[in-house]
Chains A and B, each alone.
Chain A
Amino acid sequence: MMTTTKTVAEKAASKPTRRDALRTLGLGGAAAASMPLWARYAGAQTAEPIKVGFQVHRTGIGAAYGRWYDRTTSAAAALINEQGGINGRPLEIIAEDDGTDPKRGAEVVEKFAAKHNCDIGFGTLFSHVVIGSSPRAGELKLPYFVVSEGHHVASGMLNRYTLQPGITDVKSQVQAMAPFVADNLGKKVTMVFPDFAFGHDHRDYFTAAIEAQGGEMLEHIAIPPTETSFTKYFPKIPRETEVIYHVMVGPAVLTFVKELGEFFGPQRPEMFGFLDSLEAVDIGSPGLEFLDGTYFWEGNPRYAQENQSEYDAFFRERVGVDANGASVSDPRDVSTYAHMFGCWETLHVVKAGMEASGYRGTQDRAALIEAVEAMTDLPHSIAHPQGAKVFNGKTHQVFGKQYISKVVDGKMLLVHTTSIEDTFYPDEVDYTTQSL
């Protein structure tokens, strides 16, 4: 009975109607119109695009980063496609908003694997979203390339399917900063940081690093990342503090820095901040004048420096960023320059990995992971505009140079560049021993 019904239904469905015929003709026409574009990839076994599931913080507390991660990713994908794609196939970015929410993040990863049939997942920044999404990516055996800075990849907390080849992690960053802080700014430090995984990485590793330099950590001040008013936290800063180490994220970063300045007034101690405190915020905003003479870690210098590399200039131009780190179309739209290069570099690592492994489709995901694990030196180039890097296949984490800038006349001037070796620490995990 059921079979008969089904057959009838199928027959009804397969009977061509005038509308179907028109639709087919329309599709054929559209396909014909785009032929020249396809012809570029004619050499490949299949012209099917390689689908990159881009987990983007379009909304929620990570929205400013999301906007620029999106632009950088689009620019990188456009460049790769101009150069002939990957293995002769075009790259297609499928973006899904995760609302900067770990629960939603895991659902987005699921959607990439099940609905869009993506080759990889990519692009997550906020550490709590990475930690919430990565286990699902591991279960689904979806290679998950994060651009997050968190130490959770190299700490061994995640799994073999999660890699961070385009941006360095907090542990290596702060370890490289500590000698500069202790030698130039002071040894008695108070830390102000956001109260979640990313901030805890700062707390744990910077404290250890500054103590290794003979410094002293006076106080840890943790602030919830959704907080909107900050003055009430500052009286806990001990009077004898020589250096304030600050790092903050979320929609209220500008309030945070402004209130920090208002709290100290003219009696400001030395300050060392991670640029996260001011990503997407104009250093020249009213109320930030006190930052003159303070220091910032930068993943990549926001202001084009005198000795700017040709690769940085090229990267800036392709993403649409001016010499002050703002959008070329709107100088008030300041980029997240210290982080977003990670998307560009990660996509280039994916390209290199897919080419090295002869990647054909989702059946080759394991081979892609192994190919990326086999990488070591990533030279300073168009693919790596922030600088040369060294990838550690065992810990799935990349290591690279760090930059320290000083605010001078409302602009950031590069004063110190660390070596890659400054950022090394002993391996804490060997993911290659896990099964694929």
Chain B
Amino acid sequence: MDFGPYLMLAIMEGALTAAVLALTASGLALVFGVMRVVNVAHGEFFMLGAVLAWWVTQLAGGSPVLGFLLALCVVPVLVGMLAAFVDMTILKRINYDPERTIVATIGTLYILQQVTLMTYGPEARPVAPPFNARIALPWIDMSDGTLRLYWPWGLSITSYKLFVIGAACVVLLGLWSLMTKTKLGLLMRATEQDREMALAFGIPVQRIYAIAFGLGAGMAALAAVLIVPIQQAHYLMGGDPLLLSFIVVIIGGLGSLPGAILAALLIGLSDGIISIFFSPTLAKIFATLFVAFVLVFRPKGLWGTGKP
């Protein structure tokens, strides 16, 4: 492949990774920001999103468009409610003690994963995309001093992949306006800044915690619903998103939403470009190495506020 089209393909694949990663990681960042809880079970909420999406599309039967739309609306809510339930029944009982929440969410991780294995089974099951057309992309070539448009071999994207990138942008904009423009966002930001003071002002912190935890998990589930027509729903699929989300959240600054989104772009694009030009393994090595450097030289993250 020529360099130009090759780079363009790398950027588009990277943008897809970045879009899904930004959704997943912003959920993790939100939970950490508001609650100071390191949610190790975040990847399993992602996996649940994919598995439930398969289940909902099966129930809907027939039309993939209808099934997908239904999954898109119902699944994040279901997963969010489950997460809120986990918050109220487990995390609240251990007083959000940092060490114990880590252990408790590790436990939740295994419970969710194994229950999925016992019910849904070990198979990878596909969800049909609502639409999926291959779009060949043109490239400009200079020959004999004149510009010429041509369709290079292999340079393409599918309409569904473009939709995922677009949908992720819309959802992130929605999350941003929720945090900055609504009363709920205000309450969450107040809780994030100072829990004691928020309590003193009569903010129902406990309820805000449950909502934030549910919202964070719902974001992961939404990302999974979007990606599952490209990949397949499988009970072990939560591992990679968890690792990458942690990488992104640490680079972006713990608890910082804009930081998480920018870091997701950075990691997603570099993953796409490095894996295409060198090797996918090198891309993972690079990302982890980058985290190590950030932790050593800028522990609060690239865009972190430096709060504890």
CA distance A255 to B230 in the complex (A): 7
Query: With A228-B240, A229-B231, A255-B232 in contact, is A262–B280 under 8 Å at CB?
Result: no
Count, A-B residue pairs, CB within 8 A? 77
Q: Are A232 and B280 in contact (CB under 8 A)?
A: yes
Within the complex, the shortest CB–CB distance from B273 to chain A, in Å, comes to: 9
Select one of A237, A252, A267 contacting B124, CB under 8 A.
Answer: A252
A286 on the interface (CB 8 Å rule)? yes
Known A63-B123, A251-B232, A252-B231; judge A286-B128 contact (CB<8 A). yes
Check A228/B231 contact, CB under 8 A, given A64-B123, A286-B128, A287-B132: yes
What number of A residues sit within 8 Å (CB to CB) of B?
32
* A 31-59 to B, binary, CB cutoff 8 A, 1 in contact else 0: 00000000000000000000000000011
In the complex, chain B residues whose CB is within 8 Å of the CB of A231: 9, 13
A265-B136 contact given A59-B117, A63-B123, CB 8 Å threshold:
yes
B156 and chain A: residue at smallest CB distance: A265
When the two chains form their complex, are residues B6 and A235 in contact, meaning their CB atoms are under 8 A apart? yes
Measured CA separation A58–B118 after assembly (Å): 11
A191, CB-defined interface residue at 8 Å: no
Q: How far is the CB of B88 from chain A (nearest CB, A)?
A: 31
The answer on a CB contact under 8 Å between B154 and A263 is yes
**Chain A, 277-333, CB within 8 A of any chain B CB:** 280, 285-287
Chain A residues closer than 8 Å to B185, beta-carbon distance: none
Residue of B nearest to A286 (CB): B128
Q: Does A115 contact B (CB under 8 A)?
A: no
B305 sits at the interface (CB 8 A): no
* Shortest Cβ gap from A37 to chain B (Å): 31
Contact A60-B9, Cβ < 8 Å, known A239-B153, A263-B154, A265-B134: no
A63 in contact with B230 given A232-B280, A235-B6, A264-B154 (CB within 8 Å): no
Residue numbers in B under 8 Å from A255 (CB-CB):
230-232
Say if the beta carbon of A196 comes within 8 Å of chain B: no
Return chain B residues, CB-CB under 8 Å to A107.
none
Q: A108 on the interface (CB 8 Å rule)?
A: no
| Closest residue on chain B to residue A59 by CB atoms | B122
CB distance from A285 to the nearest CB of B (A): 7
**Is residue A254 within 8 Å, beta carbon to beta carbon, of the partner chain?**
yes
Contact B234 A234 (CB under 8 A): no
Does B281 lie at the interface of the complex (its beta carbon under 8 Å from any beta carbon of A)? Answer: yes
Question: In this complex, what residue of A is CB-closest to B136?
Answer: A265
Is A26 part of the contact surface with B, judged by Cβ < 8 Å? Answer: no
Distance, CA A335 to CA B52, complexed state (A):
24
The answer to whether B1 touches A235 (Cβ under 8 A) is yes
Contacts of A286 in B (CB 8 A): 128-129, 132
Partner of A254, one of B10, B126, B236: B126
Contact with B along A255-269 (1 / 0, CB 8 A): 100000011110100
> Inside 8 A of B280's CB, which chain A residues have their CB?
224, 227, 232-233
Q: Which residues of A contact B252 (CB under 8 A)?
A: none
Q: How far is the CB of A315 from chain B (nearest CB, A)?
A: 23
Residues from chain B with Cβ under 8 Å of A265 in the complex? 134, 136, 156
Bitwise interface map of A from 216 to 241 toward B, beta carbon under 8 Å scored 1, else 0? 00000000100111011111010100
B237 close to A (CB within 8 Å) = yes
Contacting pair A235 B9 (CB below 8 A): yes
Selected contact of B156 from candidates A59, A60, A262, CB within 8 Å: A262
Q: Are B124 and A235 in contact (CB under 8 A)?
A: no
Bound Cα distance from A227 to B280, whole angstroms: 9
Question: Which A residues lie within 8 Å of B232 (CB)?
Answer: 251-252, 254-255
- List the A residue with the shortest CB-CB distance to B9: A235
- Contact residues in B for A285 (Cβ distance below 8 Å): 126
With A233-B280, A262-B158 as known contacts, state yes or no: A58 contacts B122, CB within 8 Å: yes
With A224-B280, A287-B132 as known contacts, state yes or no: A232 contacts B272, CB within 8 Å.
yes
Whether, in the assembled complex, B191 has its beta carbon less than 8 Å from a beta carbon of chain A, the answer is no
* Chain A residues, CB < 8 A from B272: 232
Which residue from chain B places its CB closest to the CB of A195 in the assembled complex? B281
When the two chains form their complex, are residues A235 and B154 in contact, meaning their CB atoms are under 8 A apart? Answer: yes
CB nearest to A261 among chain B residues: B134
Which residues of the other chain, B, contact A64 by a CB distance below 8 angstroms? 122-124
Besides the known contacts A64-B122, A251-B232, 12 further A-B residue pairs in the complex with CB atoms under 8 A apart: A61-B236, A63-B121, A64-B124, A228-B240, A231-B13, A232-B276, A235-B6, A235-B276, A252-B234, A254-B126, A262-B158, A285-B126
| A-binding residues in B (CB < 8 A) | 1, 6, 9-10, 13, 17, 117, 121-124, 126, 128-129, 132, 134, 136, 153-154, 156, 158, 230-232, 234, 236-237, 240, 272, 275-276, 280-281
